[in-house]
Amino acid sequence: MSISENLNRIRNSLPEHVTLVAVSKTKPVSDIMEAYNAGQRIFGENKVQEMTEKWEILPKDINWHMIGHVQRNKVKYMASYVSLIHGVDSLRLLKEINKQAKKANRNIDCLLQVHIAEEESKFGLDASELSEIITSIKSGTLSNIRVLGLMGMATFTDDDHQIRKEFQNLKSLFDKTKNVVSECSILSMGMSGDYQIAIEEGSNMVRIGSRIFGRR
């Protein structure tokens, strides 16, 4: 199957309220252009430098989503163009994004990454850190960022029951966050292997790579 066939098959299977982020990390610009020519405009990358190199040469109506872990010293390279940063997991990072957004004279949209998987990972907030960061945002002065929602990744496992439980956990944190953060509307969960479960559990943004572009 070609990239455009994969893309169309997935798009046709997604409910209308679900946004597709085509995850193009490690893939060449020719693959991105094939998806672009099939109508895709939102692409996800997990490295700032790679994303910036692609942004420079590809059509400017592409929306670039940073889905990976972000180091604070890399924010400046994408501040002028990034359309959504999914992986915000500290107040320090959020403050740096705000600072760089101000310099670039724009607002930057962000999602807070929550750690829901059973696997050990350095990345993502737990429930209490999430509520702390939301309290700071609400009382704070971060005028150039908007927190539009939450992002999370389920455990890499064949156990659908466990994946479902983790997504339910994130959905419930999302609902709580929505109650206190008015612009919170995006729930980014679901990848190639688990996006159907994620949508059943309330996702409205899926990040799909290998099912579109093939193995990495």
Ligand X SMILES: *Cc1c(COP(=O)(O)O)cnc(C)c1O
Give me the residues that bind ligand X (CB under 6 A), please.
Answer: 23, 25, 46, 67-68, 153, 191-193, 207-211
CB nearer to ligand X: give 147 or 153.
153
| 63 or 192: CB nearest ligand X | 192
Query: What's 62's DSSP letter?
Result: P
CB nearer to ligand X: give 140 or 193: 193
Q: Give ∠ CA 179-43-93 in degrees, rounded to 5.
A: 55
Q: How far is the CB of 139 from ligand X (least distance, A)?
A: 29
Shortest reach from residue 48's CB to ligand X, in Å: 13
Taking the complex as a whole, the smallest distance from the CB of residue 141 to ligand X amounts, in Å, to 29
CB of 212 to ligand X, least distance (A): 8
How far is Cα 20 from Cα 43, in angstroms, rounded to an integer? 9
**Comparison of 109 and 142: residue with beta carbon closer to ligand X:** 109
In the complex with ligand X, which residue's Cβ is closer, 23 or 51?
Answer: 23
CB of 65 to ligand X, least distance (A): 10
Indicate the residue among 97 and 153 with the shorter CB distance to ligand X: 153
Tell how many helices (H) and how many strands (E) occur in the chain.
9, 8
Task: Tell me the C-alpha distance between 170 and 151, whole Å.
Answer: 8
Nearest partner of 209 among 1, 6, 52, judged by Cα: 6
Evaluate whether 21 touches 62 at the Cβ level (below 8 Å). Answer: no
Q: Which of 100, 66, 101 is nearest to 83 (CA)?
A: 66
Pairing of strands 186-189, 19-23: unpaired
Chain residue at closest Cβ approach to ligand X? 209
Q: How far is the CB of 143 from ligand X (least distance, A)?
A: 28
Q: Are 137 and 173 in contact (CB under 8 A)?
A: no
Instruction: Using only the alpha carbons of the chain, give its radius of gyration.
Output: 17
Q: Using DSSP, state whether 75 is helix, strand or coil.
A: helix
